[in-house]
Every structure is written in C-alpha cells, then in structure tokens.
Amino acid sequence: MAKEEQDKILNEVTQSDYKYGFSSNIETDSIAKGLSEDVIRLISSKKNEPEFMLEFRLKAYRHWLTMKMPEWAHLEIPPIDYQDIIYYAAPKQKAKLESMDDVDPEIRATFDKLGIPLDEQKILSNVAVDVVMDSSSVKTTFKEALAEKGIIFCSFSEAVQDHPDLIQEYMGTVVPYRDNFFAALNSAVFSDGSFVYIPKGVRCPMELSTYFRINAENTGQFERTLIVCEDDSFVSYLEGCTAPMRDENQLHAAIVEIIVKENAEVKYSTVQNWYPGNKEGLGGIYNFVTKRGICEGANSKLMWAQVETGSAVTWKYPSTILKGDGSSSEFYSVAVTNNHQQADTGTKMIHIGNNTKSTIISKGISAGKSNNSYRGLVKVVKSCEGARNFSQCDSLLLGDKCGAHTYPYLEVYNKSAKVEHEATTSKIGEDQIFYCNQRGISTEDAIGLIVNGYAKEVINKMPMEFAVEAQKLLAISLEGSVG
Amino acid sequence: MLSIKNLHASINGKEILKGINLEIKPGEVHAIMGPNGAGKSTLASVLAGRELFDVTEGEVVFGGKDLLDLSPEDRAKEGIFLGFQYPIEIPGVSTVNFMKTAVNEHRKYKGLEPLKAADFLKLMRDKKALVEIDSKLTNRSVNEGFSGGEKKKNEIFQMAMLEPKLAVLDETDSGLDIDALRIVANGVNKLKTAENSTIVITHYQRLLDYIVPDVVHVLFDGRIVKTAGKELALELEEKGYDWIKEELVK
C-alpha cells in the first residue's frame, strides 16, 4: 500500500465512528407502513409489473404467512414487528433520465459522499455501476457499452419490463420463495435490485458493480439480484452496501441468485458496511440475506468473496450447488464484529456433479462484546463421485468479552469424497501490540497490520479497488477495540 | 546518552525496581547481571515503556529527553531497541511488511520520505548478510513457528534494520546453543559504533566472552548493588550470587 493511502487510513481510523452515517434530504415516494396483500398489489402496480410477477409475490406472501422466523442461528434478535416497516420507498424523480446530468443533485451529492463517482470517472476506472437507493435503481452506467456485447446489466425493475421472458425463466429457480422465511418475505415485497445476463462466449470486459444504500427512515430494503451466465462466459460482480445512522433497527432481506452454465465463471464480491449500531448496541441494520448460486454446467466456476464489517445482525450463507460435473466453487470470507454486533455467517457447498471441488476460507474477527459465528455445510450426495472439499475456519479475538464460534456441518454420502476441515482460534494479544510498538509502530497501525495479515488470503481474492476499501474498513471497524 | 536516577517501578502494587541509578555514555556496553527475580527484565520493559509497569518515582533522560513522557513507539523511534527475551509471533504478517512499516515509521519521525521498494529490499539484503540470517526466516511471518534460536537471530536482524542508539538485549543468550550464541554475538559486535550503546542483560558470564562489556552491574532485589569492570562477571561466575548477598548483609 502506498504511504499516502496508509496515512489516509490512519486519519480515518483516528477519527473513528461510522463515516457513512449521513442521511440525504431526498423527496421519497413511499407507501404506508405495514404488510398485506393490498400492499403487495400496490408495490406491483407502482412498478407496472406483468401479471406473473404479482402472482409470484402473492404466492410468496401467502407462504410467508405460514412461516416463522428461524431461531437456529447463534443470534439474539429482539422480535421484529413486520407491520411497522415501510415496504416501498423510492426516490421521487420526474421524468426518464437521458444523461447523468439529469440525476437529482441531492442523490448525486449522496453518492459523492459515499465516494461513488457516478460520472465520467467511472469510464476511466472501467466500472459499470447500478445504484440502488432504498428500493429503486437510480441509474445504471455503461449500459450501452455493454449492450454492444449483448450483455444486459440493468435494474431488476427494468429487466421485468424489458426482458420479462428471462426473469420468468430464471427468477426463483435457485432460491425458491419457499426456501426460508426471509426469502419468502423478499419474494413478496422486493422492490428492486440488479439483473445481469452474459451471453454465450462473452467475457464481460469490465467489473459490474452495484451499490446499495438505505436512506429513508423505517424502511426495509428488499433487493434481488439475478445473474445468468451462459456457456463459456465470465463476469466479475461487486456489491457494496452502506446505510445512514439511525437509532431504530432497519431490516434488510435480500436475495441473490446466480446461474452459471457450462465452462462459465462468476466472481461475486461483497463489501458489506451497513450501519452496525452505536457503541451501546442501539440501532443498526438487521441483515438477513439469502445468496445462492448454481454451477449448472460442466466445469463451471463460482467464487464468493466477502468482507462483512457492518450490520447489527448478519445472517448470511452464500452457497453453491455444484451440479455440473467438474464444477468448482470457492468461498472467501472475512467477517468482523465489534461492540454489540452479531454475525452468523458461512456457506453451503452442495456437491452433486462428479469430481466437483469446493474451497472454504473463513476468517472471523471479533472485538468488543460482539459474537461471531461461522456456520458451514459441506454436503456430498450419494451419486457424486470424486468430490473434494477443503475448509479452513479461523477466528481472531480482540479482548476477552467477545465470542467466536464454529459450526461445521458435514454430510457425506459417497465414500470417494475427500473432505478436510481445519479450524484455529487466536487472539491479538497485548504482547503483540507492544512488540509492534517497540519497533516504532503505533497501536492502531499494529492492529491494522495484524488484522490485514490475518485476512490477507481473502482480501487478495477481491478486485484491486475493493481490496483497498476492504483494508480500510477492517482498520476502521476495529478502531478503539484494544487497549 | 542514558541517565537513570532513582527509578522505582511496580506491577500490581508490588515494587520491583527500588531505586535504580545508571549512567550510560555513547559507545559503551553495559552488562546487567543478577539472580532470577532481581528486576532485570522489568528494567528493560520499563525503559521500553511497557504499560504493565507503573513508574512510581525517579527519572530517565535519554538523548536529552524525558523518556518516561514518551509512548513506547516514540521511544523506539528515538532510538531505543528492546531485544525481547521471548520474541512474539505475529501470524500472517510477513517480516518484510513488518520491517517496512517499522523502518518507514522511523523515517517519518525523522522527517524522511519512506524508502522505495527497491531500496528497502536492498537494505534488507545487506542487513541479512551482516547478521547471517537466512532468507528462509525473513520470508516467513514474523517469528511464526521459529525455534528459540531463530527468534533471537531475528531480533538481531531487526536491530540491524532499525539501527538504534541504545539496544537493550534482554537475555538474548537464553535458549541459544553455542553456535547460535556466537552468530548473535557477532551480529551485536558488528553493529557496534562509537555512538551507539548496548545494555546486555544476562544470567551467565558465557555471553560476555563474545560481547565484551565496559561495565558490569549486579542487580539484586531492585537495586544495583555492585558495579565494576568486566572481571566482575568472571568473579560472579566463580562465586555465584550468594557471595553478593553475603556481602550486602555485612
């Protein structure tokens, strides 16, 4: 890392606190609190959706009514009043936008504060961005450049209008609405998200990126991402999240579905920095996310890389169904919890195709009074020959009031499978910090050095731009946690 | 260079240092010897600024500055290096990255630009050769999985990289076989100049065959009870520490 970069990080670290915690004064178009079939019909009609969408939503809603919030995770969550949430809030805008100049200046200012240049700079940095604020996608850059290659990258709502056949074919095929409580809720009320379609044989020439932000008060964010990669195609997709500071808890329940066909490859990277609540544990985002991909075709590949530093509660298990013969998946995760944050996160690797391979590298970092759990399933079905898995789950503790837990689940029904699991727990000690101090390194820098060293394997898997952001976030989230 | 006057320090309310007086001039090598529990390692830790210990009385002036006022990292950057008795492992942090951070922090403190990558790597190569440390060690994470002897060599390597004005070597000889002892001692001797000083803390005279002190102090029950030339070490080796105790009673 360059020196200037390090200085900047140090400055940010010493200033502490949640730096994304501003809220923007944007006129929003939202509906009344609460959830009912009428609300769902209203969302669907506001979005001018075709009939099949409304049906899907209503089926999901009716199924959700029969379900209970899961309690198996190592999380303490106060009861959530689902009638006290606004299920639709879109920034109000007048007409269709022709160019970037037409975007509401307030919205643009918000994104500038977030450091997302929604303008020509992006062309230079070669990133196409789909920005979702609260529930609606504001503006997708680069659409035309991508369209030339036959790539579709747009908001979910636009996809519903412009490519209903693709949506109908793939939506809910990887994460059915019956899958779990939050998936059902999302399927009923989701308001926007991103859609990516990479045609056969196309390598997406740039990283596709979505930035999510919850802005309005009392709003839930329910976005949905669908990525379809045809045979021999490739895409790297980045997702970032922030939210303003608020005293009440806000709900975020997202779905990500990824379909990877023969010889295709998807890299999905996340930097999640939702507001974690204050030092006393007040406020923060409840983050309940269902992310799943299917390696459908032979020799297909799916990689998940995530840095999770935010949210009061995280419940998230990006998973891969390895269906195609010779398909493979990797999961790299760093989850940081500080103060009163709680995280129960991990992955599932379901080996169905022959000679399928999966790798799991999970690094948990706990500080303050937080709780951090890894929960992972490796399943090899009976007919699957030659499956291989390697899992490594490490926990790092700062201080003695936090907790780290590992819950590996192995279900292996075929004798030819090779499954390995390694786990370690370590602690950043006062002696390590002092050792660094004695060599002239300050305590904050020492923590940054140690934590980034610990998380290196995961951060190295992220695209460059994200890796720098992730390193900063690690240092910032752990500020003041030792000494 | 270093002036310690009436230094008292305690841990958890228990007094360990009970009035240390010590003067060290540039270029001198001082040995501090003494039985277990005399306060030798405590003295080293207090000089380096470890917060575990409370300084209750006295003053320490280093290079004209009040040392006790400075944070541990600023003391390091002022030129104090502590060779740890038990060097700490830092998994995942490469020795290169660790040393680069440390060297550049020292440079920043002196108002210098950070070293360019190529210059830094050249510095590493030179210092590795000087202290005869294997690249196999410096390519690994800091001290991770090192043997006792390898850790001590790594301390001397770091000392070479940081070029301290005052090196405090806390039982650098413990856990070393005779070959490792010779390499470590050679490293220390090569790094010696007319300006920098060394405090060698040890139980045994053995190390002092290789690192020859100008002055030998005996620390006993939190005080320096005897100070003499290098021959004192031999006398101690022969008579043991009981001799000092008896002399004190008289």
Q: What CA–CA distance (Å, rounded) separates B167 from B185?
A: 13
Q: What is the pLDDT of residue A332?
A: 94
Residues of chain B with pLDDT below 50 are none
DSSP A472: H
Question: A416: closest CA among A356, A358, A376, A361?
Answer: A356
DSSP A219: B
Q: What is the pLDDT of residue A14?
A: 39
Q: What is the pLDDT of residue A203?
A: 94
Per mean pLDDT, which range of A151-155, A174-178, A223-227, A288-292 is the poorest?
A151-155
DSSP string covering A339-357, please? TT-EEEEEEEEEE-STT-E
Contacting residues of A for B162, CB less than 8 Å apart: 439-440
Q: Please give, rounded to a whole number of angstroms, the shortest distance from the CA of B226 to a CA of chain A.
A: 29
In this prediction, residues A427-439 reach a mean pLDDT of 91
Q: Which two tokens stand for residue A8?
A: 């900047």
| Confidence class for position A441, pLDDT limits 50, 70, 90 | very high
3-state SS class at A278: coil
The CA angle A275-A280-A285, to the nearest 5 degrees, is 25
Q: What is the pLDDT of residue A22?
A: 52
Q: What is the CA radius of gyration of chain A?
A: 22
Quick check: A13 pLDDT over 90? no
* CB-based burial, A50-89: b 16+ in 10 Å, e otherwise: eeebbebbbbbbebbeeeeeeeebebeeeeeebeebbbbb
Residue indicated by tokens 């976005």: A223
Q: Which two tokens stand for residue B20?
A: 């240390």
Q: What CA–CA distance (Å, rounded) separates B214 from B107?
A: 31
Quick check: A424 pLDDT over 50? yes
What residues of B are in the A interface, CB distance below 8 Å? Answer: 48-52, 71-73, 76-77, 81-82, 84, 87-94, 97-98, 101-102, 104-106, 109, 114, 141, 158, 162
- Tell me which chain B residue has its CA closest to the CA of residue A448: B93
Cβ pair A441:B92 closer than 8 A: no
Residues sharing a CB contact under 8 Å with residue A267, sequence separation 6 or more, in sequence order: A235, A236, A237, A303, A305, A463
* Residue B121 C-alpha from the chain's centroid: 25
Q: Which two tokens stand for residue A466?
A: 């994200």
DSSP string covering A396-421, please? EEESSS-EEEEEEEEEE--TT-EEEE
| Confidence class for position A481, pLDDT limits 50, 70, 90 | low
Residues sharing a CB contact under 8 Å with residue A279, sequence separation 6 or more, in sequence order: A339, A340, A368
Quick check: A137 pLDDT over 80? no
Q: What is the pLDDT of residue A267?
A: 95
Cβ pair A3:B81 closer than 8 A: no
Cβ pair A432:B73 closer than 8 A: no
For residue B167, the cross-strand partners are B81, B198
In this prediction, residues A168-189 reach a mean pLDDT of 93
The domain spans of chain A are 24-478
Q: What CA–CA distance (Å, rounded) separates A9 from A451?
A: 14
Burial (Cβ within 10 Å: 0-12, 13-18, ≥19) of residue A99: exposed
In this prediction, residues A41-66 reach a mean pLDDT of 92
Question: B12: closest CA among B68, B59, B69, B51?
Answer: B51
Per mean pLDDT, which range of A46-55, A466-475, B226-235 is the poorest?
A466-475
Sign of CA dihedral A73, A77, A83, A84: negative
Contact B152, B68 (CB under 8 A): no
Q: What CA–CA distance (Å, rounded) separates A13 from A478?
A: 9
Angle of helix B148-162 relative to helix B95-109, nearest 10 degrees? 30
Q: Please give, rounded to a whole number of angstroms, the shortest distance from the CA of A73 to a CA of chain B.
A: 30
Residues sharing a CB contact under 8 Å with residue B180, sequence separation 6 or more, in sequence order: B149, B152, B153
Residue indicated by tokens 């209503």: A58
Sign of CA dihedral A172, A176, A178, A179: negative
Q: Does A427 touch chain B (CB under 8 A)?
A: no
Other C-beta atoms within 10 Å of B148: how many? 14
| Confidence class for position A120, pLDDT limits 50, 70, 90 | very low
Q: Please give, rounded to a whole number of angstroms, the shortest distance from the CA of A426 to a CA of chain B.
A: 9
Test mutation, B73, B140, B154, chain A, max A CBs within 10 A: B73
Contacting residues of B for A449, CB less than 8 Å apart: 90, 93, 97-98, 101
> What percentage of chain A exceeds 70 in pLDDT?
77
pLDDT digits (tens, 9 = 90+) for A325-356: 999 999 999 888 888 888 888 999 999 999 99
What is the H or E stretch that residue B245 is in?
helix B242-249
Q: What is the pLDDT of residue B16?
A: 95
The domain spans of chain B are 1-247
The phi-psi region of residue A232 (left if phi > 0; otherwise alpha if psi is between -120 and 50; otherwise beta) is left
Q: Please name the member of A431, A439, A450 whose beta carbon is closest to the beta carbon of B76.
A: A439
Mean pLDDT computed over every residue of chain A: 81
Between chain A and chain B, the number of residue pairs with CB atoms below 8 A apart is 77
Q: Does A1 touch chain B (CB under 8 A)?
A: no
* CB-based burial, B226-243: b 16+ in 10 Å, e otherwise: beeeeebbebbeeeebee
- Tell me which chain A residue has its CA closest to the CA of residue B160: A439
Q: What is the pLDDT of residue B76?
A: 97
Residue indicated by tokens 């996340």: A270
* CB-based burial, A187-213: b 16+ in 10 Å, e otherwise: bbbbbbbbbbbbeeebebebbbbbbbb
Higher pLDDT, A367 or A283: A367
Contact A204, A147 (CB under 8 A): no
pLDDT digits (tens, 9 = 90+) for A318-329: 999 999 999 999
CATH match for B1-247 among 3.40.50.300, 3.10.450.350, 1.20.140.10, 3.40.50.620: 3.40.50.300
Q: Which two tokens stand for residue B77?
A: 């950057």
Other C-beta atoms within 10 Å of A5: how many? 12
Q: What is the pLDDT of residue A27?
A: 56
The CA angle A260-A254-A326, to the nearest 5 degrees, is 20
Q: What CA–CA distance (Å, rounded) separates B201 from B205?
A: 10
Q: What CA–CA distance (Å, rounded) separates B219 from B229?
A: 15
Q: What is the pLDDT of residue A380?
A: 96
Q: Where are the beta strands (DSSP E) in B73-164?
A: 80-83, 90-94, 141-142
Other C-beta atoms within 10 Å of A221: how many? 30
Q: Please give, rounded to a whole number of angstroms, the shortest distance from the CA of B228 to a CA of chain A.
A: 30
Contact A232, A268 (CB under 8 A): no
Contact A463, A236 (CB under 8 A): yes
